[in-house]
Amino acid sequence: MLRRNSRQAESERSETSRVVSYPPADEPFILGHSPAGIHFYRPKEAFYLPYSTLHAMRLSEDMLTLIFATDDVIVEGRGLHSLYAHIADQKVKRVHEQSARFEEGSDASIFIRRIQRRARAQ
């Protein structure tokens, strides 16, 4: 007997074919519900690192260093203590580089100037 596809199967198929746009950088970071890791967005690059590989963090005045098993991620900006605290609680889903050229025009208390990724020596 032939059966027609269910509506649920049709909606699942349309969900998988949707285009996901590059997220805007108007917010320095986005919180998520129990994210498995952090998506880092730069103007022309994005990368993902899982929380399970995060070994340590170091916060200084305008720099947050995240030490993962394979990479070090250096986040430069202002007001980074909030980001540091949320990453320590594993709540951060995405971090966006907002570009140094827009910093002067921004009065936001948190601003991500630059994100650098450096491979760790194996």
> How much is the mean pLDDT over the chain?
85
Residue 59: pLDDT band by 50, 70, 90 thresholds? Answer: very high
Identify the residue with better confidence: 116 or 11.
Answer: 116
The total number of structural domains that make up the chain = 1
Structural domain containing residue 83: 23-119
E strand spans, the chain: 29-31, 37-42, 45-50, 54-59, 63-68, 71-78, 92-96, 111-119
Mean pLDDT for 17-35 is 80
Within a domain: 81: yes
Within a domain: 56: yes
Within a domain: 107: yes
Q: 54-68: string of b/e by CB count within 10 Å (b at 16+)?
A: beeeebeeeebbbeb
Of the candidates 115, 107, 96, the residue with the CA atom closest to the CA atom of residue 31? 96
pTM: 0.77
Within a domain: 7: no
**Helices within the chain (DSSP H only):** 7-16, 81-88
Within a domain: 100: yes
CB 82 within 8 A of CB 110: yes
pLDDT digits (tens, 9 = 90+) for 62-108: 999 999 999 999 999 999 999 999 999 999 999 999 876 666 666 77
Within a domain: 96: yes
Within a domain: 17: no
Of the candidates 42, 28, 36, the residue with the CA atom closest to the CA atom of residue 54? 36
CA 19/CA 16 separation, integer angstroms: 9
Within a domain: 13: no
